[in-house]
Structure 1
Amino acid sequence: MPTLVVHGDEDQLAVPANAEILAQGIPDARLALLPGARHAYWAGNPDAHQQVRAFLAEHDPAVT
């Protein structure tokens, strides 16, 4: 199953290395490491939303 692991590269609560390990352990996974983002990277981060939307659209044509 295609999987997108999204993580902030400045997260001190859940270190970015864990996201890399997770993505490497899931077949067909992709890691989106958001520069300058901390633990709540998705809050008000248009880049995070755009990357998730693009990933979903790539795998489901119904997503725009």
Structure 2
Amino acid sequence: MPYDELGALALLAHIPQEAVRDNPDVVAVSALAERPEDLDTLDAYCSTGSLRRAADLLHLH
């Protein structure tokens, strides 16, 4: 996707890196990146919008 099509998301490129690195949510997602199975779980949850559907998709019950 070209940069000019990002709309409001393009504003994120202007946030100082220090502010991003210190954000607790960014820190948490960075920690998830160290465990691929946790990233799969986050992806499934974001894709389905439901813990129950994400668990079903991942065959975790």
TM-score normalised by the chain length of structure 2: 0.31
| TM-score, scaled relative to structure 1 | 0.30
More strand by share: 1
Larger Rg: 2
Larger RCO (CA under 8 A, 6+ residues apart): 1
